[in-house]
Chain A
Amino acid sequence: MTEETYRLNCFVENKPGVLARIVGLISGRGYNIQTLNVGPTEDGTVSRMRIDVLGTERVVNQIILQLRNCVNVIEVTSRRR
């Protein structure tokens, strides 16, 4: 399977430690984050993260499912870049 860049769009609770948890989940499994962009949303309690990762479809799906298991992650969507 070929590796491609995927953009993950995450909406997460705006709480301390959430960024570290999400970045740790991805890097701790040996995947490299190419771009990371974090910002507020109109709802001050929710942050939006755009994460670009390089991986096979299977690996990226795995990352998405594990992100969804994260207690602070509200929603994750992805698309191939």
Chain B
Amino acid sequence: MFGYPGGNVVDVFDHVRTAKFRFVLGRHEQGCVHMADGYARATGRPGVAIVTSGPGATNAITGLATANVDGVPLVLVSGQVPLSQIGTDAFQEADMTGICRAATKHSFLVKSADEIPEVVAEAFYIATHGKPGAVVIDVPRNVQEATTDARYPERVSLRAYHPESAATPSQVNRLAKWLNEAKRPVLLAGGGVIAANAAGDVAALAAKAGIPVVTTLMGIGCVSASGMHSLGMAGLYGSYAANAALAAADLVVALGVRFSDRVTERCFPNGVHRARLVHVDCDPSSIDKNVTADLGIVADVKDLLTTVNSRVKPSLRAAWLARVAEWKAKHPFSYRQLRRGVIMPQAVVEAVDRAADGRTLLVADVGQNQMWCAQYFRHSHPRRFLCSGGMGTMGFALPAAIGAAIARPDCRVVAVAGDGGAQMTIQELAVAVAERLPIVLVVVNNGCLGMVRQMQDESFGGRRCAVAFPRVHGAGCPDFVKLAHAYGAGGVRVTDPAKLDSAVAKAMRAKGPTLVDVVVDPEANV
């Protein structure tokens, strides 16, 4: 459990003190929620956070929205003023269930201690069933103080919420038939595949029926990048091969995707596609929302694939696979060295990739650095690449990496952030130090808000505004190395391209948290 105390939740903390679970004190409530989020993304198990009322609760909102839009199971307990004071503008009163409505899947305002066991059980049920999401339990102080004999229910049954769904036999038949008939099928795998723990089933279908796989940003890791069926990410910043395969396909089977504008603008303009389109998702409202499907199937992706895999005919599809393999080989992501002796930001991700092994878990922040992490790292496992897709929340990487490192002590967690995003949650470095987590924070330091700068260059005639971070005394501002040292973490700066690999590799072997401040060319574009 991750959290931050305060007056209206202090009664609960009296029991956290003696609880059997590990409690991690964050440094800001947004960070606490991102930590719970990172824990959940890395494991598939719900993350839990606890905050106080008023400002503690409002600080948590960005974290809730970030998790919720990406379908991450998370439960947040927030303190609230005593019931008798609700609606009186009491000290540290905020209408949490009102404020969080659009940032959560559901929320509860607990009215009596007797409700607590049932509400907690329902909150975890809702967070983890159907499309997972964030759930808030708002607990007034007087309820925290009360006692109850109520027991934790053995099972949860909600009157109005029944998210279980399954494909009909005729839908399965049609999908299997279309797959068997298709000459140029493509699987488009999204975050829903990872959430359903169905990555292996996607790979199995691809291998059996000779079908190339492209992913969304959230689907990265579904199939190993080096595999012959894997074409990488589709969409705005996607690979040539992935976008070309989607364009040439005669059947696209979209699995656990919600067709965000990042994908549709590039690959499904106006919400249509020439090819036959099958859309499988556990959320009925995502089907036909942004793209109209020829066959929409509301089902658990894993259940569906288990059935479909037994129904498709083995096929090599040699010609089609050869064609996409050629695209993949001929058009890898590439960049040009802009200035001699200056590190290119893409090279930073390549250095992390070279230093990585089978146990590396990469967490990206937001901005140019996020797209380079998606493009230049050879992703090989589900739940080993975490980033904020739907919200694009700057400051996500460091706290989410802390949550992931706690969840997966067997993995080496590397967070990559821009100099902008790093400054949004840098205080959580104190948590990595206090908890002795050997995470690496790589700051891709281009001295600017690169993604916005690129947008201003490309779409506003180069009229740059509010994007530069002026350098002071040669170092960036702040001096990230000094900052790391101030927190008790290791810190090194790299400016020389020849020293990049060794610095990154050394940080990834360090015993404690280490910040690597890499000064990169500020003019590089995605």
Query: Which residues of A come within 8 Å of B, CB atoms?
Result: 12-13, 16-17, 20-21, 24, 28, 58, 61-62, 65-66, 68-74
Contacts and interface: CB of A to CB of B under 8 A. Distances in A.
Contacts, number: 42
A74 B101 contact: no
A44 to B, nearest CB: 13
A65 B159 contact: no
B160 A21 contact: no
Given A24-B101, A71-B161, A72-B160, 11 more contacts: A13-B160, A17-B109, A20-B101, A58-B288, A62-B285, A65-B284, A68-B284, A69-B283, A69-B284, A71-B105, A72-B161
Given A61-B288, A66-B285, A71-B160, A17 B97 contact: yes
Contacts of B130: 69
24 contacts: A13-B160, A16-B109, A17-B97, A20-B101, A21-B101, A24-B102, A28-B101, A61-B288, A62-B288, A65-B284, A65-B285, A68-B284, A69-B130, A69-B131, A69-B283, A70-B160, A71-B158, A71-B160, A71-B161, A72-B160, A72-B161, A73-B160, A74-B159, A74-B160
A20 to B, nearest CB: 7
Contacts of A12: 160
Contacts of A69: 130-131, 163, 283-285
Interface in B103-136: 105-107, 109, 126, 130-131
A40 B322 CA distance: 64
Which among B97, B106, B158, B160 has the greatest number of chain A C-beta atoms within 10 A?
B160
Nearest to A64: B285
A20 B106 contact: no
B289 interface: yes
B115 to A, nearest CB: 11
Nearest to A12: B160
Nearest to B111: A16
B461 interface: no
Contacts of A73: 160
B87 interface: no
A14 to B, nearest CB: 11
A21 B105 CA distance: 11
A74 B160 CA distance: 4
Nearest to B163: A69
B98 interface: yes
A79 B105 CA distance: 27
Nearest to A58: B288
A45 to B, nearest CB: 8
Size class of the contact patch on chain B:
20 to 34
B519 to A, nearest CB: 43
Contacts of A62: 285, 288-289
Closest CB pairs A-B (n = 4)? A65-B285, A74-B160, A71-B106, A71-B161
Contacts of B105: 71
A31 B101 CA distance: 17
A69 B282 CA distance: 11
B291 to A, nearest CB: 12
A4 B288 CA distance: 19
Contacts of A17: 97, 107, 109
B120 to A, nearest CB: 15
B281 to A, nearest CB: 11
A70 B131 CA distance: 12
A13 B97 CA distance: 17
A19 B285 CA distance: 20
A7 B17 CA distance: 53
B89 to A, nearest CB: 19
A72 B131 CA distance: 16
Interface in B283-309: 283-285, 288-289
A16 B107 CA distance: 11
B447 to A, nearest CB: 38
B78 to A, nearest CB: 15
A55 B101 CA distance: 23
Q: Which of A16, A68, A69, A72 has the most CB of B within 10 A?
A: A69
Nearest to A17: B97
A68 B165 CA distance: 13
Contacts of A20: 98, 101
B345 to A, nearest CB: 37
A20 B95 CA distance: 12
Contacts of B284: 65, 68-69
Nearest to B286: A65
A28 B131 CA distance: 20
A71 B126 contact: yes
A13 B122 CA distance: 15
A72 to B, nearest CB: 6
Nearest to A28: B102
| Residue among A16, A17, A74 with max Cβ neighbours from chain B (10 Å) | A17
A66 B285 CA distance: 6
A13 B159 contact: yes
B82 to A, nearest CB: 17
Nearest to B107: A17
Contacts of A21: 101
A48 to B, nearest CB: 13
Contacts of B101: 20-21, 24, 28
Residue with the greatest number of chain B CB neighbours at <10 A, chosen from A24, A28, A71: A71
